[in-house]
Structure 1
């Protein structure tokens, strides 16, 4: 795709498959079709995802992450100063996750999200403070 081409978010969601029942143990291979890269951006990219369930913990040591809920809802849990801060987000809402903050998604009913995610991304199935 040309760097100057317009991207229609809803059209791009037709390219991904709904992943039902995501868990922290879901493999990259199992989740692959539920995620898509829309565009490279700085040291990462603009991504979309469509799934229900619960993600593993993740963090981005090189920059902040932008999360926009396009459809559905999620609870985005940030681990700040050893406390889990729960952020209920629904369609049209966004949150910026500060650089290096561990976070995870709880989306039992399903969610479509768009993110601007710096790389690399670190992942943890276990609670980060239990390591």
Structure 2
């Protein structure tokens, strides 16, 4: 963990891969991850943890499925949203976005989804920031 400030714009400029989160720092047992996204992710859930999203640039949609049905939340730049644990969700961005997420260290970005991962998605617990 760095003892110097981290410039998120510079960190985002250090990689191009979509749906491939980078760990910028840690807070207690949580990773602070950034990612560039475009298109659709996979439907998945995290049974043991909530997932926090902050949109740094662009716009992010999150499809949600639970016992009450299916809906979409739209997050413009500067918006935050928490997907509750166990809720199936699918992030997407038509025009592309940069996001920041908080997740417990070691959490897979594809949650419970381990099969049929599309080629444009990297299943990972986060990559180190170069």
Q: Is this a same-fold pair by TM over 0.5?
A: yes
Counterpart of 2:86? 100
**Counterpart of 2:44 in 1: which secondary structure?**
strand
Contact 1:62/1:120 (8 A) holds in 2:
no
Task: Report which of the two has the higher share of strand.
Answer: 1
Query: What is the match of residue 13 of structure 1?
Result: 12
Q: 2:74 aligns with which of 85, 88, 92?
A: 88
More helix by share: 1
Q: What are the within-5 Å matches in structure 2 for residues 1-131 of structure 1?
A: 1-2=1-2, 4-19=3-18, 34-81=20-67, 83-118=69-104, 119-121=106-108, 122-124=111-113
Cα shift readout 1:21-64 (whole Å, capped 9, x = no counterpart): xxxxxxxxxx5xx4211123344411111121100122222221
**TM-score of the two chains, using structure 2 as the length reference:** 0.74
The alignment's TM-score, normalised by the length of structure 1, stands at 0.73
Query: Contact (CA 8 Å) 1:77, 1:104: kept in 2 or not?
Result: yes
Greater RCO (CA < 8 Å, at least 6 residues apart) = 2
Runs of 4+ in 1 over 6 A off after TM superposition: none
Tell me how far apart the structure 2 counterparts of residues 104 and 41 of structure 1 sit (CA, whole Å).
25
How many residues end up aligned between the 2 structures? 112
